[in-house]
Amino acid sequence: MKKYILAISIAIILLILSVFLFADNKKIKQLIYPKKEIVISKDSLLKLGMPDRITEQYIIIRKSEKSVNKSFFIADTRENLIYFFDKKGNFVAKAPTIDGFDIQSKEKKYLDEAFKSWSEHAADIGFEYNSKTKKYEDVWGKKRIYTHKFVYDQIAKGKGRFFPKGIYTIPSVYKNKSFIGNCNNTYNVKNEQVKELALAIHGLYKSQFRINTMKSMLAAVKTDFKEIAAPKAYRETMAKNLRSFTYNNSYGCINVPEGFLLLTENLAAGSLLIVLGEEEKDYLVAM
């Protein structure tokens, strides 16, 4: 009897061992080899050359439930930089940016202007979108033929040509012939109220001034799109020129070079976009 019990005991032990050694069950493997949480510190990222403002926001994002299984952009319109990270928080690409004419504002009337959709801007000057003809039509009876210039001129009258500090999502990407980039060069943006904005991330507007400006910015950044570092000298120059129309001459959208688009276009849809405040302090976005 004792021999029989001993044999059964040995058989059970061998069965358990075989499960632990050979089973392909993920839960069992996790019990045997629990994953160690990798803690990324601010100091380790700063040593790699990632800007302090971007780094501090990165830490906040990674601790937030909102970022779970989400790739994300961090844009700093003070230092004219944008960074992109994949769903695991791995760095993918960074680039200099050309952004809005106006400095960020907290005043409601300017925020309301910045948060308008393209259709709302068009409606302000008497154009409504006809879903049947797929065109904007003059509803003021002036027989005007719609062009984007009408809307741009309207936007220019206000002080809403900036990207407000906050959290956004990118629902989709597409190609727009008005912008540089032989790829999906336009990333639509929705705010927290799930409203699609006129604001977007897109390739450089096809103007020689912006093209030349971006060339000088890329030369000043020195590092490649795939390198995480951004020189302090470049960032300080941008911060000192916060009111300069040289680096800030869009109607609020974030203009990026083609190299950045090529590295992010396939991962952008569904991503978060976090836009930092332009202040020296209190620039971080709570999540």
Angle in degrees, 0-180, between the axes of helices 232-240 and 208-221, rounded to the nearest 10:
140
Q: Are 212 and 260 part of one and the same domain?
A: yes
pLDDT interval class at 42 (50, 70, 90): confident
263: domain CATH number is 2.40.440.10
Q: Are 185 and 224 part of one and the same domain?
A: yes
Give tens-digit pLDDT for 196-241.
Answer: 999 999 999 999 999 999 999 999 999 999 999 999 999 999 999 9
In this prediction the pTM is: 0.85
Q: Are 22 and 55 part of one and the same domain?
A: no
Q: Are 235 and 191 part of one and the same domain?
A: yes
User: Do the domain assignments include residue 205?
Assistant: yes
CA 22 – CA 39 distance, rounded (Å): 31
Q: Minimal CA–CA distance to 160: which of 117, 124, 115, 190?
A: 115
Give tens-digit pLDDT for 69-80.
Answer: 999 999 999 999
| CA angle 157–158–162, rounded 5-degree value | 125
* pLDDT the model gives residue 83: 98
Cα torsion 244, 246, 251, 253: sign: negative
Q: Are 171 and 262 part of one and the same domain?
A: yes
Q: Are 14 and 98 part of one and the same domain?
A: no
Coil, strand or helix at 59: helix
Q: Are 90 and 170 part of one and the same domain?
A: yes
* pLDDT the model gives residue 8: 57
> Residue 10 sits in which domain range?
2-32
> Dihedral of the CA atoms 100, 103, 105, 110 (nearest 10)?
-50
Number of separate domains in the chain = 2
- For tokens 């000192």, name the residue: 240
User: Do the domain assignments include residue 13?
Assistant: yes
